[in-house]
Structure 1
Amino acid sequence: MTKTPPSSASDSGSRGGLFRRFILPQIVIAVTAGTLGLLWAAAQQRSQNHERMAKVAEANAVFLENQKLPRSSQLADNLSEVTHSKVGFFLSGEDLVIGNDWSTEERAVAALAKEREPKVARIGRHHALVRPIADGRAAIVVVESVGPLITFSKSSSVVPLIGMTLLAIIAAFLIARSVVRPLQKLATNVFASPSESEMQLPVSLTGRHDEIGILSRTLIQERHALLEEQELRRSSEKMALLGRLATSLAHEIKNPAAAIIMHAQSLEKHGKPHEGKLIREEGEHITSLVNQWLFVAKPQAPRTSNTDLVTLLQSLKARLAPVLEFHRSQLVFELPDSLTIHCDSQRIEQVFRNLIDNAIKAMPNGGTITIQLHQLDDGKARFTITDQGAGFSPEALKHFGETFYSEREGGMGLGLALATGVIKAHGGTLSATNRNEGGACISGTLNTSPNSF
């Protein structure tokens, strides 16, 4: 069963949600900062316009005071042309002397400024400032038509502000994408990984040294732990099933098998030793198979004693001689004179019986099975069993020792599982490889002393 991504409807509705949540606040901040900057620039521009108008009024007032020129419309036009502002005069009383091109709004804003304190007024785009002349008989008025609140002149600070705002938005977009894209990639790879296999994430995610890298590596570890838990659960379910099966069948099988063995022994004693021995061995094999079921389903601590492994193997070879001959197989030993180990002899014999039986079945046309045994320096005994068969498939090596896994037709997947369980119960190890020259190689270790458990 594989993980399926969210449905297209929900996916389309949520796609880019993190990206929007990440970038929108940054855009709002950038736009707000830019707007405040523009407003500040506009205020500065307005202040500068006011200061310039004040300077124009001051300069014209000083000029008129020094020159004693008549306050005429011609003089107003001349001053307007020189200062690039509308310049007029308020004479004593309410008379306004101006040029010929003043609009109604300009007249109105000038009159409004004269009545105010400070003498500044604004109507629409027109600003007016009134400055009394020192003789006290007149006042000069300056009117300017201000353009848009924000201008884009080369000398203005508006262009840099807008540019900085755009750069901030672009930077926010790039930062948001640099965070969101790895997360999208991570989500895609997680959903693409089958639930029954290890998660594979690209190095661009797992090799990062930030929080995304930590998250990627953590997901891989969690997936690995989950698969291990699932495997343990499946194994427990299999053991429970085998336990129920073995318990229910053990009594029904052992009693008839015991009767067969008893009659086979009687045949051996009364003139038919060959037939009796063959029947007895097959009956013992049936009993051994039931015991394997019971051991795998309900493992118990081994009943250990000092056992000469060399003697055990030689005795086993003698009992298996008819089977080896029938399958045109040879069992070759490379053993020391003796090697004592601390073990449950019956279970260890069953391990080697199962491994030899597997080797025989792996060579349908016959061949040689070699068992090597030698003492290690760390207090363990090491053994290897090799055959001349086809070897293990990659999948079989992956599931080596797994209960109920067998690629052989009719196989139950109990032999190697039993061998692995018994060896582990004795504090040893068991592993499998394929030989370069062909055939399989089973390697294992066993403790030679009780203190090694």
Structure 2
Amino acid sequence: ERSGWVVHAQADRIVGRAALAADLPAPLSDWTLLVVESRTDALAPARALSKRLLATMGLVLMLALGLATIGARRVVQPLSELTDAIRSLAHDADARQVPVRSDDELGRLAEAFNRMAGDLHQAQDDLVEAEKFAFVGELAAGVAHEIRTSLGVLRSSAQLLRQSLPADANAETAELADMLGAEVSRLGNVVDDLLTLHRRDPLRLEPTAVSEPILRAIDFVLPKAREKNVAVRFDPPAEEARVRCEPELVQQVVVNLLVNAIQAIDAGGHVEVGLLPPRDGFAGFHVSDDGPGIPPDLRERIFQPFVTARPGGVGLGLTFVKRVIHDHRGRIRLQPAPHGARFEVELLLAADEENEEA
């Protein structure tokens, strides 16, 4: 087509509908190249691109809203759980723990709250224990002082009675006199235990290797163990932790646990003492035996005064043990064991040991 024959305004009539046209003069001639295309076909790629852009933007917006919702839920849910736990803690020290769902600030906040709740619960238990021991100690001291004088008179009378018996006295009479003296001595030991519960002297703490009071306690109970044919095993390691304690009191704790174990098991039984590795600022030991163990109905109350699993027992030995460890700010537990009983005692590490552990 020659230039000027068709103008752009005539493009619509060429294709019979709305159209777009473009012309380009041919070099070295008077001809012009004219390209005509309907608007629909010409703009189709642009419209398709617009639709894809709109769809992409919509998808991105939906994805952003979804991520925002998930993010908000991850923030709101832990905060809601923490708020509920704080409200519960205000009314009950046994409030539930907050789930730790992440390692970020919210997770660390939940961990801090759980530690605080645990410390509060432990402090409440310690306060209850302290009040319980204080009450028992006051009561025990009053009773002990009242009967100590009478026991002294009975002990002297029993000794005089036994000495005054003629050589040809009836064997049954002599046995009764000996039994009277033995029972008076046993009651005297009970009185001593009661007075020990009322002990108010400040602790004389010193850094002590864990095995030191254990070895002295084992030496003390070995004659009783051999008499009953019970083996006591303890292999102290070459290196061990040092704890802050009053060694004589801890020795009494070990003696009580060993005597209880020896009395509980049959001839030929075994008692084992072992050290516990340092952890969380504590180190300690365990005393285990292969006897009948503690009855299930007594396990929760075994440290309470006058609770005992041994026929004829008074039930003050473990109360004394609990009191001593409590005064040391330590921990004592009756652990589950497949056979027999296992008591674990933990005491605070000495300062130099704490630095090494850190």
The whole-number CA distance in structure 1 between the counterparts of 2:70 and 2:180 is 82
| Alignment pair present for 1:440 and 2:333 | no
What's the TM-score once normalised by structure 2's chain length?
0.52
| Alignment pair present for 1:227 and 2:117 | no
The whole-number CA distance in structure 2 between the counterparts of 1:288 and 1:344 is 18
Structure-2 residue corresponding to 1:280: 181
TM-superposed CA distance for 1:288, in Å, is 1.7
The whole-number CA distance in structure 1 between the counterparts of 2:65 and 2:233 is 79
Report the residue type matching 2:77 in the other structure. Answer: R
Report the residue type matching 2:199 in the other structure. Answer: K
**Change over 3 Å in CA distance of 1:210–1:247 after alignment to 2:** same
Report the residue type matching 1:414 in the other structure. Answer: L
Structure with bigger gyration radius: 1
The whole-number CA distance in structure 1 between the counterparts of 2:309 and 2:94 is 24
2:107 to 193, 213, 236: 213
Q: Secondary structure at the match of 2:230?
A: strand
TM-superposed CA distance for 1:196, in Å, is 5.4
TM-superposed CA distance for 1:180, in Å, is 1.8
Structure-2 residue corresponding to 1:419: 321
The whole-number CA distance in structure 1 between the counterparts of 2:78 and 2:274 is 54
Structure-2 residue corresponding to 1:63: none
1:388 to 273, 287, 291: 291
The whole-number CA distance in structure 1 between the counterparts of 2:328 and 2:69 is 63
TM-superposed CA distance for 1:229, in Å, is 0.8
1:253 to 117, 127, 147: 147
Contact 1:371 1:386 in 2 (8 A): yes
TM-superposed CA distance for 1:427, in Å, is 12
**Change over 3 Å in CA distance of 1:431–1:185 after alignment to 2:** closer
The whole-number CA distance in structure 2 between the counterparts of 1:236 and 1:427 is 11
Identical aligned residues as a percent: 21
Contact 2:292 2:340 in 1 (8 A): yes
Q: Higher mean Cα deviation, 308-317 or 221-230? A: 308-317
Contact 2:261 2:271 in 1 (8 A): no
Report the residue type matching 1:418 in the other structure. Answer: F
Unaligned runs of 5+ in 1: 1-154, 322-329, 337-341, 376-380, 447-453
| Alignment pair present for 1:312 and 2:213 | no
TM-superposed CA distance for 1:294, in Å, is 2.2
CA displacement 1:347-384 (0-9 Å, x = unmatched): 95786367535664x56xx6655456799xxxxx9895
Structure-1 residue corresponding to 2:193: 292
After superposition, residues 3-402 of structure 1 pair within 5 angstroms as 175-188=71-84, 195=92, 197=94, 199-202=96-99, 206-271=100-165, 273-300=174-201, 312-313=220-221, 316=224, 330-334=228-232, 344=248, 352=255, 355-357=258-260, 360=263, 362=264, 369-371=269-271, 384=287, 386-391=289-294, 393=296, 396=299, 402=303
Report the residue type matching 2:148 in the other structure. Answer: K
TM-superposed CA distance for 1:227, in Å, is 0.7
Contact 1:310 1:335 in 2 (8 A): no
The whole-number CA distance in structure 2 between the counterparts of 1:367 and 1:395 is 24
Contact 1:388 1:439 in 2 (8 A): yes
Report the residue type matching 2:220 in the other structure. Answer: L
The whole-number CA distance in structure 2 between the counterparts of 1:243 and 1:235 is 12
The whole-number CA distance in structure 2 between the counterparts of 1:388 and 1:371 is 9
Structure-2 residue corresponding to 1:83: none
CA displacement 1:298-333 (0-9 Å, x = unmatched): 254689xx9975663355569xx7xxxxxxxx4524
Contact 1:404 1:413 in 2 (8 A): yes
The whole-number CA distance in structure 2 between the counterparts of 1:390 and 1:371 is 12
Aligned pairs, number: 258
CA displacement 1:173-214 (0-9 Å, x = unmatched): 555444223322444566678945474333xxx141333212
What's the TM-score once normalised by structure 1's chain length?
0.43
CA displacement 1:9-68 (0-9 Å, x = unmatched): xxxxxxxxxxxxxxxxxxxxxxxxxxxxxxxxxxxxxxxxxxxxxxxxxxxxxxxxxxxx
Q: Higher mean Cα deviation, 284-293 or 180-189? A: 180-189
Q: Higher mean Cα deviation, 411-420 or 281-290? A: 411-420
Contact 2:294 2:309 in 1 (8 A): no
Contact 2:81 2:98 in 1 (8 A): no
**Change over 3 Å in CA distance of 1:343–1:248 after alignment to 2:** same
Contact 1:268 1:275 in 2 (8 A): no
Q: Higher mean Cα deviation, 233-242 or 209-218? A: 209-218
The whole-number CA distance in structure 1 between the counterparts of 2:124 and 2:296 is 24
Contact 1:392 1:440 in 2 (8 A): no
Q: Secondary structure at the match of 1:389?
A: coil
The whole-number CA distance in structure 1 between the counterparts of 2:115 and 2:328 is 31
TM-superposed CA distance for 1:259, in Å, is 1.5
CA displacement 1:242-294 (0-9 Å, x = unmatched): 12202221221211211211112123322365333322222222222222222
The whole-number CA distance in structure 1 between the counterparts of 2:296 and 2:78 is 38
RMSD (Å) for aligned C-alpha atoms: 5.3
